[in-house]
Structure 1
């Protein structure tokens, strides 16, 4: 006696599954065709294919009526389960932030974090309370080798986002920024706008030679200045400006944010810097 080979899923046409479901539910070709919106001959052809694949008649006529075979009766529940699973695969539930759970990791410079973090935290509290935020320093992560698949979003300049470390990314501009000079409000330079003097500290957002570049740019800015600062943490510079009279150069959005908490004055004058576009990026995959 020959032993039949197990049925391979590759031999099953998935288009037959909904027809099988209707045949099992309705118990007849005509009724199944009406429910499916197909012609009776089309459903009959599908039934013939199903009989061949499943090696069972599935439907038989008894005293002029269609009845399910024992095998067909055993298939009713499994077929319903399969169809429900296919519906989920083909029509996933829409993303609902109110019920979402998980951790969102955002890599960004310190200056950008001071602008983005407060409103983002408030928005998540109201609209997505189940999500947790995890902020990492974009420059530190380059150094320690943070795996890019652990970071969902990046906030930085386009030149940084284009670096091969992060691979293919899609991005959208969040805002445009520029570098400004900031000084403590009690300093005599706050009202004069004078850019001379022997103390001047500069913030370089990401110009550490992380990518093997930028060192010459840093040197050109710092040559001849008695006091220079190359901090990744902008807050240090804001404190220096407020308490030590040191003039600092920082992004305008950060300067405006720090003015809420420290006695700082923004000295508006042309620093010779072009505007910077700050972008939000995410994986294109």
Structure 2
């Protein structure tokens, strides 16, 4: 059964969803052989007993990154994928507009760019990213990288660059709506990963005015595949190059910006 686009929890009102969840839990946990017996699939109520069964399932299973599932009794996309299979969670590989698709392509063309010298926030490509936003060499450049990608994509298509011109992640988040973009907040994205599309930009707030951003390349359930500047293989916000990474949607603590 396909993920319904929301967190399934205590009190779920859709009887088809509840029946499917109970049937899958019975099968996955072999509940007919347990002391309490199987869940009643004919009962459309997602009650405390079903919630406890979900917690049991979560305690015995992991997500696609082999990380333990959160044992909260709620079925988000990660638990749904573990319960019903990865093929039953949202997957998006194509951006919604030609411009955003071009942004993804431009970002991918920069994979392998590295700071020169190391840990300097400099180098020919990095300086060009920063220059596009009017920012001096030596500054953090993840947001400038996304602006440069939008600029190159817009130039290739003969259209105006819609992105707010800034090298500061949180300034971008705060000003995106006035620029005509839509914002998808973390809570909405976690509940319904289908809201997140390729070509969107993610924003992470690290506190103290610092943040990190990058381009969403692909979405698979509660995971996003990204292309990011000023990072490295560990996903830090102060790395030395452009990398392709995978992140959980629930680690994107601000949300996503959509210029579709």
Q: TM-score, normalised to structure 2's length?
A: 0.23
- Considering only CA atoms, is the larger Rg found in Structure 1 or Structure 2? 1
Q: TM-score, normalised to structure 1's length?
A: 0.22
User: Which of the two has greater strand per residue?
Assistant: 1
